[in-house]
Structure 1
């Protein structure tokens, strides 16, 4: 069992109970409280310093805890100074607020240091739209907390015009900003069980500052002492746990899995609406209820803006997905060299065409004398011949016909609706188009010829493989007859 947290908890409980009981001099209670708080703040600063010494350099976690050390040092100096001032002059204790000037100044300075480093803490979001959504979520949380705190501080003798009624919401909004920023960003420089201590400590100190004047007037400043003592006890335990974690070698803070959304702004929105219902049921539409109503309307507007941003982002992602799908489909069914359909696309279209009634024609084209062009002029020249042949084949058939490169120097044409003059006329047109000399990139020309095999399916439901086999056999018969010939399958 960890000794220090248990000892701190026991001491805080005992002293807190003594402070709450209304007996003795408030100045004596103040000295005891601030002496204990000074020890806690000094120990907190020491353990945070030891933890930073064990952290790798440089890290954002180390940067936060360095700021924590600075804040702790400010608190420590102010607390020891407040003890010395009270011992030297008991009147320096302000019975009207339940605190002292040194601690009040230190709270502002130390809090500014911590809030400042949190405000500049790096965010993992990359795009501008992600950063916008993050800030809208944070604005929802801060607005809901501020409206709710203002509602509760305007009870009893607190009025909207009083400083306390304004200070509490401001402090609460700063705390909500700090906690929300670290939580929503997913880059908190501590584990969750350490992180929850800071907001609780800040809340306790905020209550002490907000309720201090009222409690002092009521003759119960000991409650303020108890709240401040508990605040520093939590900060000390948090620093100790952080030090023990690094001392045990658990130096790496586990990465937080990035979620596509956060429940925090929606919980804040639900909370402010529940508070609005409570305000209307208990007090009607009074000024306090109007404050909650304004907060609810503002939070709802921010959440709506956040959702519209998400809808726009989703529409963009869907458009990108569709574009990627089209590109992948084109890559899967297109020959990269010639831009023609590939074998997979040709077989798919042929199978679909054979399901329709009416005839369908297939022509297989194999280039003669293509290998010598490759061997003599190189692969660049061979590629140029294939590209030129592809263009000529497209020009030799109709716009509704499919031209494909099956591989190497082999091409195929699907005539979805063969022309009236028949397949021989198309095959002859192809042979004459291919036979023309092809210009080469390095200059000069190369001539190749085409052997064509054609097959015709005259009814729906034909077999694509069988039709291709017939055209292939016809093409080899034409090749055996000589270069630049065609044959139609019987």
Structure 2
């Protein structure tokens, strides 16, 4: 709560940065002040924005240092340290430029910048880009996610480069080797550096693990685009007739001011060390690459209608083709990913269906699957036979030999039942030690024969490891059609027959026990049954 109240208080530094940024274009475009006043003011404001960013980035670096030694804190600390060094370097170059403007002549170097300024600018952008590119992506990115990130980034940069190449042209002359070299040098020294910076911002925006929030990332991306566009504008537009066009200088200030404002917003909203850095949701769809492709197609149409198939039009068409090919590759990648997801879905569905209708221990159909098959068989009108099997004295097996032995006995019972039924018959484990068999097309007599085969299969003993486990079971049978029984009624009939078989089995065992002679004691007298 304390942090929230602090963030809600007025921020003088942010207010100053906002005022200077918003007023940049009107002041420089509409002011009648002489060049001797506006030009030093421009370089001074550029230095103010860069110093502000450098100081804020330095504080953010110390904030991440106090956040811990984990990978995220180290990555955030490294990014803001690189940013502080980059903008500090550019500020020193602007200080040298401002000094030269104040004490030197107003020549081309004063307007466009000296070699010291240019060197500091190149070094600063390279430092900033290095910080952006060294920042890790989300570690859980899949191979598909990494490929999608590369294609999206390449598409955006191809679209931006198309616009940059459009406006960057050397002085008109007959195309040749020298013209191509001059064009490449102009392209390299002006917009490409800022496109590298834009690449870093886009990479973090798509990567999901960012040292700044989304709105700050948006501001930095806009700042990079503005700087790339203003740096791509030919020198002839900055100095028409030898006099500076200060509206363009104001646009440069807006790009630099937005970067400083973004850094200050990140510092204000960072509630604790490390805030602003974290994994974002993996969005499988982003509109930015498609917007880049649409923009290049629109630009191609405008250039083709306005100028015809000139060299400039061919350059733009080439950029349009590149962005389109990248989008097609991305779509093919997306289709491949979708097909893989669908295959995984089908596999998961099959596994879930198998788990829903099969017993995990024996692999037999479970009660739900058995009832579904029984219902379908009865509704077909074919004679349906149900055998219910209940193992005798199964609980003593678990108590005497352990549950692992009991499980192995159940698996053995399942295997014996599969061996005794026909292909197409259904064997199920209804739960515990209760099994069932479903067969179609049998008469009552044939069902009785099948029940006898099953009863014979479940008799005797089973050796499980070192244990000799007794095995026997009671089998009840019922046969009918859908006209006479519903599933519950047929199961109930088989259940009643099974209990009848159990009862008869107990009576036979009792008669057999009664028929056995009583044991005789040492004196030749029969022992009392009470002591048997």
Given candidates 18, 24, 27, the residue that maps to 1:17 is: 27
Deviations 1:25-51 (A, max 9, x none): 66x754443334334322332233233
Write the mapping of 1:42-81 to structure 2, written as runs, cut at 5 A.
42-55=51-64, 56-57=67-68, 58=73, 60-81=75-96
Distance 1:479 1:230, change over 3 A: closer
Match of 2:480 in 1: 457
Given candidates 123, 129, 132, the residue that maps to 1:118 is: 132
- Secondary structure of the residue aligned to 1:336 is coil
Answering whether residue 201 of structure 2 is matched by residue 179 of structure 1, we say yes
Distance 1:180 1:429, change over 3 A: same
Write the mapping of 1:125-164 to structure 2, written as runs, cut at 5 A.
126-154=141-169, 157=172, 161-162=182-183, 163-164=185-186
Can you give the 5+ residue segments of structure 1 that lack an aligned partner in the other structure? 486-490
Distance 1:19 1:334, change over 3 A: closer
Given candidates 278, 281, 288, the residue that maps to 2:312 is: 288
CA distance in 2, matches of 1:316, 1:105: 50
- Secondary structure of the residue aligned to 2:242 is coil
- Compute the displacement of 1:221 (Å): 3.2
Question: Any conservation in 2 of the 1:48–1:242 contact (CA below 8 Å)?
Answer: no
Given candidates 395, 403, 413, the residue that maps to 1:389 is: 413
- Secondary structure of the residue aligned to 1:438 is strand
- Compute the displacement of 1:478 (Å): 0.7
- Secondary structure of the residue aligned to 2:209 is coil
- Compute the displacement of 1:67 (Å): 1.6
Match of 1:428 in 2: 452
CA distance in 2, matches of 1:458, 1:210: 86
Match of 1:303 in 2: 327
Answering whether residue 489 of structure 2 is matched by residue 466 of structure 1, we say yes
Question: Any conservation in 2 of the 1:48–1:239 contact (CA below 8 Å)?
Answer: yes
Distance 1:281 1:483, change over 3 A: farther
Question: Any conservation in 2 of the 1:359–1:416 contact (CA below 8 Å)?
Answer: yes
Match of 2:241 in 1: 218
- Secondary structure of the residue aligned to 2:404 is helix
Give the alignment's TM-score, normalised by structure 2: 0.81
Given candidates 381, 384, 405, the residue that maps to 2:429 is: 405
Write the mapping of 1:353-364 to structure 2, written as runs, cut at 5 A.
353-364=377-388
Distance 1:23 1:339, change over 3 A: closer
Answering whether residue 113 of structure 2 is matched by residue 99 of structure 1, we say yes
Q: What count of residue pairs does the alignment treat as equivalent?
A: 481
Aligned CA RMSD, in angstroms, stands at 3.1
Give the alignment's TM-score, normalised by structure 1: 0.88
Deviations 1:403-445 (A, max 9, x none): 111112111110122279511111111111111321122x142
Question: Any conservation in 2 of the 1:154–1:288 contact (CA below 8 Å)?
Answer: no
- Secondary structure of the residue aligned to 1:235 is helix
- Compute the displacement of 1:334 (Å): 1.4
Given candidates 18, 24, 43, the residue that maps to 1:34 is: 43
Distance 1:23 1:379, change over 3 A: closer
Answering whether residue 266 of structure 2 is matched by residue 242 of structure 1, we say yes
Given candidates 337, 340, 349, the residue that maps to 1:316 is: 340
Match of 1:190 in 2: 212
CA distance in 1, matches of 2:260, 2:492: 84
CA distance in 2, matches of 1:200, 1:392: 74
Given candidates 318, 322, 332, the residue that maps to 2:356 is: 332
